Amino acid sequence: MEASSSRSRSRSGSATLKRDRGVGSGSGSTAQSLNDDTLRSVFSRLDDHFDLARCCAVCNSWNRIIKTTHIMRDLYYKRNPQARGSSSDISMKSYFEELAVDEHISALSRGSSDVYQWTGHPMRATLCRMKSGSILTGVGDKILRLWSAESCKFMNEYNVPNAKTLVDFDFDENKIVGLTSSQLCIWRRSEPRSIFLSGGASWNHGLCMSYADPEVVIGCEDGRAFVYDMYSRSCSRIFRLHSSPVTCLTITDDLIVGGCRFGTIAIADHNSGQKLGVLKSAFAPLEIRCLCLSTNSQLIFAGSSAGYAHCWDLRTLRPLWEERVSPNVIYSAHHLPGDTATLAVGGIDGVLRLVCQRTGDTIRRLVVDADRQAESTSTSRNQIEKKRVRKVDPDARLDNIPRRLRPQITSLSVGMKKIVTTHGENYIRIWKFSPKSS
């Protein structure tokens, strides 16, 4: 009986294998062999926009079928019948953007997470920026490096001129902009060896910058802000923000917002430089170490040297909340544009915190999990370690968590369901979140 059963299982396994190989044997049993009408019928039964989007990415033929049959639009009208007959292109775009942001918020607030770590610099990286699927890291050596946020693969390298040390940088789809204490270094993203250095020193002791093409605003040790125009290649305006060093900056089309070493935040008109208000903390004196502005909710977030996270309403210039989320310095705070729910905060204690934008309550505290062995994968240039993440309980003593599991977070930047962090070491980490808990 055992031999007969074994032969039966063997025949069953062989039959399964033949079915799996149907595309090669001409049996017509794979998805590639289905005709367009059948695929339309299958796709029309999907009831989730993200599933349809994933199907669009499988191949050109699937993408063509979904787009030409307007399955995505029909599902949108099914979910939003009141939008039928309106200017649907705009409303559909807004709807899909809201869907993506909602999934991002759900992933960061409740989802599972893995950390991908790789050696990115010969010495160390202290700053990072993430935009449109790309990550830029640097400061600590003479190199800026560009990476893919999805695959962690190296994309490009930008060398800082000799005798120059960067203190800050930013980038967009066309340019890399770096700040030294007295000059700007500007690279074309596609031509890393093509570099422009701003002319004679218009400012001294630049400490921070904020970039929105075609202008760069530089915050200096003497409390002034210099507005550098890339088209004229000169400083177009100089404003007095503080009487003490400007430690961090953020800008919009209308405003320049700058924090200082004495714990205040100045808000000035971007064009005239007229000071519109000064924000103060109830817990001064402390140093404002980082700033983040939400244009959607008109809120300003800050991190300080005493471990406080702060939030002010830009419309009333009044504080909404101030919470001591960390016992030590907060170096970086950031959120995804469009996200009005979560704020990522990191600092010297090495715990990645996700904070509620509306209340200041800490949603989650995360560190690398020591109890699970890391997995390794390799690319053509670097080896990537995959590490699991664990949640830190609110009443847990951080002193009991080894420092190697929570190295200081010197900088962080938030992308769609991702957070990249640097730690003052030669490695880079990217935290990837899944909307469904495992």
Looking at every residue in the chain, the average pLDDT score rounds to 87
| 81-89 long-range contacts, CB within 8 A, separation 24+ | none
Chain-centroid distance of CA 84 in Å reads 34
Instruction: Answer yes or no: is 50 within a domain.
Output: yes
pLDDT on residue 13 = 43
Phi, psi of 222 (to 5 degrees): -85, 5
pLDDT digits (tens, 9 = 90+) for 267-314: 999 999 999 999 999 887 789 999 999 999 999 999 999 999 999 999
Strand partners, 265: 259, 279
User: Over 50: is that where the pLDDT of 76 sits?
Assistant: yes
Cα–Cα distance for residue pair 127/428, rounded to 1 Å? 10
Report the SS3 class of residue 275: strand
pLDDT digits (tens, 9 = 90+) for 358-380: 999 999 999 999 766 667 776 65
pLDDT digits (tens, 9 = 90+) for 108-147: 999 999 999 999 999 999 999 999 999 999 998 889 999 9
Question: In terms of pLDDT, which residue wins out, 92 or 360?
Answer: 360
Chain-centroid distance of CA 181 in Å reads 26
Q: What is the mean pLDDT of residues 227-254?
A: 94
Cα–Cα distance for residue pair 303/305, rounded to 1 Å? 7
Q: What is the mean pLDDT of residues 339-348?
A: 97
Number of domains comprising the chain? 1
Residues near 12 by beta carbon (within 8 Å), at least 6 away in sequence: none
pLDDT on residue 323 = 97
Cα–Cα distance for residue pair 357/355, rounded to 1 Å? 6
pLDDT digits (tens, 9 = 90+) for 305-314: 999 999 999 9
pLDDT on residue 87 = 57
Cα–Cα distance for residue pair 214/211, rounded to 1 Å? 8
Is pTM beyond 0.75 here? Answer: yes
Could you tell me the residue range of the domain that residue 69 belongs to?
A: 36-81+91-105
Contact 209, 246 (CB under 8 A): no
Instruction: Answer yes or no: is 97 within a domain.
Output: yes
Instruction: Answer yes or no: is 365 within a domain.
Output: no
Contact 415, 377 (CB under 8 A): no
Instruction: Answer yes or no: is 112 within a domain.
Output: no
Instruction: Answer yes or no: is 60 within a domain.
Output: yes
Instruction: Answer yes or no: is 338 within a domain.
Output: no
Instruction: Answer yes or no: is 238 within a domain.
Output: no
Q: Which of 64-68, 170-174, 339-343 has the lowest mean pLDDT?
A: 64-68
| 200-204 long-range contacts, CB within 8 A, separation 24+ | 202/226, 202/228, 202/234, 202/235, 203/235
In 294-432, alpha helices (H): none
Question: In terms of pLDDT, which residue wins out, 374 or 188?
Answer: 188
Contact 432, 417 (CB under 8 A): yes
DSSP type of residue 221:
T
Instruction: Answer yes or no: is 159 within a domain.
Output: no
Question: How many Cα atoms occupy the beta-carbon half-sphere of 382 within 13 Å?
Answer: 21
